């Protein structure tokens, strides 16, 4: 189709998409960022001749290309990149058809749940259907237009399938809108049938013009603000719960100003930790099931909880058992009305920074009581002793426990080092113990808690923050789930550091299993014994040798002293380096201060489950509906 009075450029759909993406920018607070900073890809027949050819034609400057090993991992890398860049810049991921495309599902869910933008470009079956079924095609006997890519619909914030070239124009614009919308963002999927990718079309020149997407900071509604201020002024024991929205909005300074002026203490979720520096007198650390004693004590007695950019996950609310003050009320500052309404909260729908600034103005002259300040400061001091005890190693020549590993890391990192983790027993230990020194330091993916996020995310973070030491912390189970992107770090020359903690299986789920009557069934990495169970000797796998074989430098640390030295060496190195350590399983982490609801068998023959169910029933009695 030609466009009268418009100049046009004849390109394939794939070429047009790459050209379009190379000209998109985001802007917030007057600063411009390239929106799609690069494209990850693994090629197969679904994208090699379409997007692959288009990337080659565009060249590295127009669209940098990164080669991944696993499609899910490429999404993790893009997510890590986007989070480090404050959601103002992200990466695209191109895949083939079928298994390449469905490998995206886990990454897409992770991105969407964590509200982090990524652009997914899976190949799809021919739109014209010349010879069904093609290789890797699922033929649905009833719904002929279903493709395996439809599995991406529920995990995407926006999904489209480009079955005609001209569809790309509205669809690509809408995709950019969602990626840069602070309330809607997440995984954005444009499924690209392989014949359409290669088809030529006369594109209007304007489609390729630079386009800047303003990332808005909506201010609060006046009535909601007045009500929120009134509620906070009336509260005697207010507690701020800082969530990931504080970081996404870069609202840390605004939060600090509010807290400095009012004395209201801050508890943080996994996504929000680091909203205040750990040594700020009002920073009480993590809240909820993996929270600190001082936070959870305050949460139990708070009369007003001020949620800032939080989704109130079950870990935060201790499965709705944490906020026990009979009169407790919630004020929720959130950019999505969906989250602001949670726990029957008073809503303050706004950007976190705008909202906090408005609250500071409205609260001028207000300060919580001296007694309240003294109470939480004393609690903070007591918790600091818990941290020190967990980090301290009395014998430098002993095998470290896991919390001593964190203590050693704490002693070598600088203010800007980034520590990445997502699953296992580390998230709980880190939430309770880590001393976050800067807003981006504590990089915990705990929306999806996806084993295997850490290594690829480390690559994305390192790409976003060259020169910053990056630490991917992984357990042995997590390492085995997805070590493949080590090769990518080596290929890209990215000095990501790995701290690999060997404890021969799933310590976290083993503990959970024991608590819930499962007797650690199936959670240790051991040989099958004569009776058929996995209770034989530990598996003799050498994960350090594995990391070395993929191209990393490897340092094996057997003692606390060797560990500290190895961490310092890794930090100074300009090569990707793995610090491997076997840990002493003796528990040195503080126990849970609040409950987490994991249902236990209501009937069973084994005593462990019966005892666990009794405990469970006692806890469920504490559940509350906040109305």
Ligand X SMILES: Cc1ncc(C[n+]2csc(CCOP(=O)(O)OP(=O)(O)O)c2C)c(N)n1
Query: In angstroms, rounded to a whole number, what is the distance separating the alpha carbons of residues 600 and 613?
Result: 6
Query: In angstroms, rounded to a whole number, what is the distance separating the alpha carbons of residues 237 and 356?
Result: 18
- Piece of the chain touching ligand X by CB under 6 A; list 126-134, 257-265, 446-454, 540-548: 446-454
Residue in 488, 477, 489, 482 with CA at minimum distance from that of residue 452:
482
- Least distance (Å) from ligand X to the CB of residue 4? 54
Binding of residue 430 to ligand X (CB under 6 A): no
- Least distance (Å) from ligand X to the CB of residue 90? 22
Contact between 187 and 156 (Cβ < 8 Å): yes
- Least distance (Å) from ligand X to the CB of residue 509? 5
- Piece of the chain touching ligand X by CB under 6 A; list 1-9, 88-96, 332-340, 500-508: 500-508
- Piece of the chain touching ligand X by CB under 6 A; list 45-53, 223-231, 417-425, 485-493: 417-425
Q: Indicate which of ligand X, Mg ion, none lies near residue 228 (CB less than 5 to 8 Å, by partner kind).
A: none
Q: Which residue is nearest to ligand X (CB)?
A: 475
Residues in 449-478 at the binding interface with ligand X, rule: CB under 6 A: 449-452, 475-478
- Least distance (Å) from ligand X to the CB of residue 601? 19
* Residue 388: CB atoms within 10 Å: 11
Binding of residue 475 to Mg ion (CB under 5 A): yes
> 506 vs 76, 106, 425, 511, 609, CA distance in Å?
22, 20, 8, 8, 20
CA 160 to chain centre: 25
Q: Indicate which of ligand X, Mg ion, none lies near residue 509 (CB less than 5 to 8 Å, by partner kind).
A: ligand X
- Least distance (Å) from ligand X to the CB of residue 482? 8
- Piece of the chain touching Mg ion by CB under 5 A; list 136-144, 269-277, 436-444, 472-480: 472-480
Question: How many CA within 13 A on the CB side of residue 467?
Answer: 0
Q: Which is nearer to ligand X, 376 or 506 (CB)?
A: 506
CA angle 179, 460, 413 (to 5 degrees): 125
- Fill in the per-residue mask, 484 to 523: x = in contact with Mg ion (CB under 5 A), - = not in contact: -------------------x--------------------
- Least distance (Å) from ligand X to the CB of residue 483? 12
> Can you give the three-state secondary structure of 562-613, one letter per residue?
HHHHHHHHHHHCCCCEEEEEECECCCCCCCCCCCCCCCCCCCCCCHHHHHHH
> 329 vs 292, 303, 565, 625, CA distance in Å?
22, 6, 49, 12
Strands of the 553-557 sheet, one edge to the other: 442-444, 418-421, 470-475, 497-502, 577-582, 553-557
- Piece of the chain touching ligand X by CB under 6 A; list 45-53, 86-94, 230-238, 418-426: 418-426
Residue in 162, 213, 205, 173 with CA at minimum distance from that of residue 50:
162
- Fill in the per-residue mask, 504 to 523: x = in contact with ligand X (CB under 6 A), - = not in contact: --xxxx--------------
- Least distance (Å) from ligand X to the CB of residue 521? 13
Binding site for ligand X (CB under 6 A): 423-426, 449-452, 475-478, 481, 503, 506-509
Binding site for Mg ion (CB under 5 A): 475-477, 503
């Amino acid at each position: 189709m030609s466009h009268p009075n418009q100049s046009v450029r004849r390109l394939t759909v794939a070429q047009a998409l790459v050209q379009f993406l190379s000209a998109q920018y985001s802007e917030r607070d007057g600063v411009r960022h390239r929106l799609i900073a690069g494209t990850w890809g693994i090629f197969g027949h679904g994208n090699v001749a379409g997007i692959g050819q288009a990337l080659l034609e565009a060249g590295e400057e127009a669209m940098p290309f990164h080669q991944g090993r696993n499609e899910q991992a490429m999404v993790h890398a893009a997510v890590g990149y986007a989070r480090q860049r404050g959601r103002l810049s992200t990466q695209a991921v191109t895949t083939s058809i079928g298994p390449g495309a469905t490998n995206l599902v886990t990454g897409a869910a992770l991105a969407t749940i964590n509200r982090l933008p990524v652009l997914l470009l899976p190949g799809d079956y021919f739109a014209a259907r010349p010879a069904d079924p093609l290789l890797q095609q699922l033929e649905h006997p009833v719904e002929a237009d279903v493709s395996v890519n439809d599995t991406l619909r529920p995990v995407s914030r926006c999904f489209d399938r480009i079955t005609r070239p001209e569809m790309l124009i509205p669809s690509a614009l809408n995709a950019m809108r969602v990626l840069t919308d602070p309330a809607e963002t997440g995984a954005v999927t444009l499924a690209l049938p392989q014949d359409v990718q290669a088809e030529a079309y006369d594109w209007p020149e304007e489609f390729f013009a630079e386009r800047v997407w303003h990332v808005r900071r909506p201010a609060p509604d006046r009535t909601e603000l007045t009500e929120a201020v009134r509620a906070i002024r009336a509260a005697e024991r207010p507690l701020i719960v800082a969530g990931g929205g504080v970081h996404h909005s870069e609202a840390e300074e605004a939060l600090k100003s509010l807290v400095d002026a009012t004395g209201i203490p801050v508890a943080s979720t996994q996504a929000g930790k680091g909203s205040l520096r750990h040594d700020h007198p009002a920073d009480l650390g993590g809240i909820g099931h993996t929270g600190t004693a001082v936070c959870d004590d305050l949460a139990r007695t708070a009369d007003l909880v001020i949620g800032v950019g939080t989704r109130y996950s079950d870990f935060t609310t201790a499965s709705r058992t944490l906020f026990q003050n009979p009169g407790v009320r919630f004020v929720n500052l959130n950019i999505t009305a969906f989250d602001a309404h949670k726990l029957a909260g008073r809503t303050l729908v706004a950007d976190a920074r705008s909202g906090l600034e408005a609250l500071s103005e409205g609260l001028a002259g207000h300060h919580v009581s001296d007694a309240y300040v003294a109470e939480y400061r004393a609690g903070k001091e007591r918790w600091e002793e818990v941290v020190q005890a967990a980090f301290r190693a009395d014998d430098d020549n002993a095998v470290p426990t896991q919390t001593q590993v964190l203590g050693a890391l704490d002693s070598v990192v600088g203010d800007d080092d980034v520590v990445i983790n997502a699953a296992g027993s580390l998230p709980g230990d880190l939430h309770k113990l880590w001393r976050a020194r800067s807003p981006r330091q504590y990089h915990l993916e705990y929306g999806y808690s996806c084993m295997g996020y850490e290594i690829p995310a480390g690559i994305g973070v390192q790409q976003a923050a060259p020169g910053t030491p990056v630490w991917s912390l992984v357990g042995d189970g997590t390492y085995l789930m997805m070590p493949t992107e080590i090769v990518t770090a080596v290929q890209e020359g990215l000095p990501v550091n790995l701290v690999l903690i060997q404890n021969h299986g799933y310590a976290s789920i083993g503990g959970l299993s024991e608590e819930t009557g499962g007797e650690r069934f199936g959670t240790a990495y051991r040989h099958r014994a004569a009776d058929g169970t996995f209770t034989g000797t530990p598996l003799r796998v050498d994960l350090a040798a594995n990391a070395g074989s993929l191209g990393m430098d490897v340092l094996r640390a057997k003692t606390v002293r060797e560990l500290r030295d190895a961490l310092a060496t890794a930090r100074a190195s300009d090569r990707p380096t793995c610090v491997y350590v076997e840990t002493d399983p003796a528990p040195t982490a503080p126990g849970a201060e609040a409950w987490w609801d994991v249902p236990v068998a209501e009937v069973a023959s084994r005593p462990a489950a019966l005892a666990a169910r009794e405990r469970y029933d006692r806890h469920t009695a504490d559940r509350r509906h906040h109305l």
